[in-house]
């Protein structure tokens, strides 16, 4: 009886040691994954900071102005380019009033029916 008890205790110790080793191994793998993810996060944050700095440089109004002056043939706006309202022609008196297509459809249909209820037969 004592011998069987000793064998069971030794087997349970071996099983417990194997289980603790497995837990330790799994936790080591998880720690490595977390460290790898932290590295990736740091690299992504660095890349984002670099892209933001580049965007800020590209979005600089002075740079855009210099590019516009170099590549576009724009001339400054002169006050003589603008006209006055007095110089506009008057509106023609025979102007056709605008037509509302939805109102035309609604006026063309029978006003007692909305389309949601079928009309009674024989009307």
pLDDT band at 19 (very low <50, low <70, confident <90, very high): very high
CA distance 45 to 39: 10
With 0.75 as the threshold, say if the pTM is over it. no
| 24 phi/psi in degrees, rounded to 5 | -65, -40
Q: What is the mean pLDDT of residues 75-93?
A: 80
Higher pLDDT: 4 or 39? It is: 39
State pLDDT tens for residues 25-36.
Answer: 999 999 999 999
Contacts of 110 (CB under 8 A, 6+ apart): 119
* Token digits of residue 55: 């965007």
**Burial class of residue 94, CB neighbours in 10 A (0-12, 13-18, 19+):** exposed
Helix, strand or coil, per DSSP, at residue 112: coil
């Amino acid at each position: 009886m004592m011998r069987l008890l000793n064998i069971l205790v030794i087997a349970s110790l071996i099983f417990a040691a194997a289980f603790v080793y497995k837990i330790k191994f799994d936790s080591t793998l998880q720690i490595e994954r977390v460290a790898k993810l932290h590295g990736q996060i740091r690299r992504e944050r660095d890349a984002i900071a670099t892209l933001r700095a580049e965007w800020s440089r590209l979005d600089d109004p002075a740079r855009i102005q210099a590019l516009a002056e170099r590549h576009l043939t724009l001339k400054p706006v002169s006050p003589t380019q603008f006209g006055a309202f007095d110089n506009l022609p008057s509106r023609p008196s025979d102007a056709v009033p605008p037509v509302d297509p939805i109102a035309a459809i609604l006026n063309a249909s029978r006003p007692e029916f909305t389309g949601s209820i079928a009309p009674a037969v024989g009307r």
